[in-house]
Amino acid sequence: MAAVTTQKLFSSHQLTHNVTKLSPGQQVHSYSSDLGPDSPVLTLIHGYPQWRYLAPLLKSKISLFIPELPGYGISHPQQSNDKRSIGTSLLQALTSIFGPDRRVILGGHDRGARICHRLAVDAASGSGLPNITVLGVVMLDIRIAGPSAVGKERVAADGALDVYGELFDSEEVIRYTAEDYRAGAQEDVDLQKEDQKAGRKIAVPTLVMFSKARLGMTLDVEDSWRSWVADGVDYKGVGVGDERGHYLPEEAHEDVYEEVVKFIEKVATKKD
């Protein structure tokens, strides 16, 4: 089963599998390691076994919280599937595991990056997040898989493609994947339009990573993200080359690791 495969992958890296019960019928499955209260917590949000290369590299550097998303993993769904609702639930699970008053670096890929963006803006505007301090945000931007043979091998390793396929044997997973996309085209967009009109932007150091080749896209990713980060806030955009594409945590985990560690070192010393 996909759930068992994913749990084995992360348990082999000595991460703890947690099941946090929230509202009736809702559970957040996550994997964690804790270096103690003085260590910030880095979230790695998406679901699936995408973080299996980065987790063992990062766990000696920072505490980790790796949740499974409804529709992309084994967490049980909730009534609202917009990024704010899901993200708030994930942070509730985080504080249940690590305790309140922890310093957090929000990190995510694809759908997880969208959640991180939402939470970072909410943190800046004081929108009632659980009792944490957001130090920074790391977002791995979305593109299709790259043509690199090495990248493709990494994506398929450890039976990961079987995990994806087995999860989609579940009607519930399919439904909540669709709900995520629906919310991404409706209420999430409405909230972001309201943010831009009101001048609500990310107000903590920000790292965005993306496929340098852009794979046929004409959008300047690095420049586009600047309009979502407040003036004067530390922002860095990093394009990853060598024909790496969408699955950056797998296809280019060395590059991601190097940039994330530098980012951690930069923001983790901040106490406020």
With vertex at residue 15, the alpha carbon angle to CA 10 and CA 20, rounded to the nearest 5 degrees, is 95
pLDDT of residue 271: 52
pLDDT of residue 5: 64
Question: What residues make up the domain containing 60?
Answer: 2-267
Domain membership flag for residue 253: yes
Domain membership flag for residue 272: no
Report whether 131 contacts 101 (CB < 8 A): yes
What is the distance between the alpha carbons of residues 230 and 228, in angstroms, rounded to a whole number?
7
What is the distance between the alpha carbons of residues 192 and 228, in angstroms, rounded to a whole number?
9
Domain membership flag for residue 27: yes
pLDDT digits (tens, 9 = 90+) for 48-97: 788 999 999 999 999 999 999 887 878 876 778 899 989 999 999 999 99
Domain membership flag for residue 109: yes
Domain membership flag for residue 182: yes
Identity at 162, one-letter amino acid code: D
Q: Residues near 177 by Cβ (< 8 Å), separated by ≥ 6?
A: 71, 72, 168
Tell me the CATH number at 95: 3.40.50.1820
What is the distance between the alpha carbons of residues 214 and 22, in angstroms, rounded to a whole number?
39
Q: Three-class SS of residue 29? A: strand
Strand partners of residue 236? 207
pLDDT digits (tens, 9 = 90+) for 6-37: 777 777 678 999 999 987 778 899 999 999 99
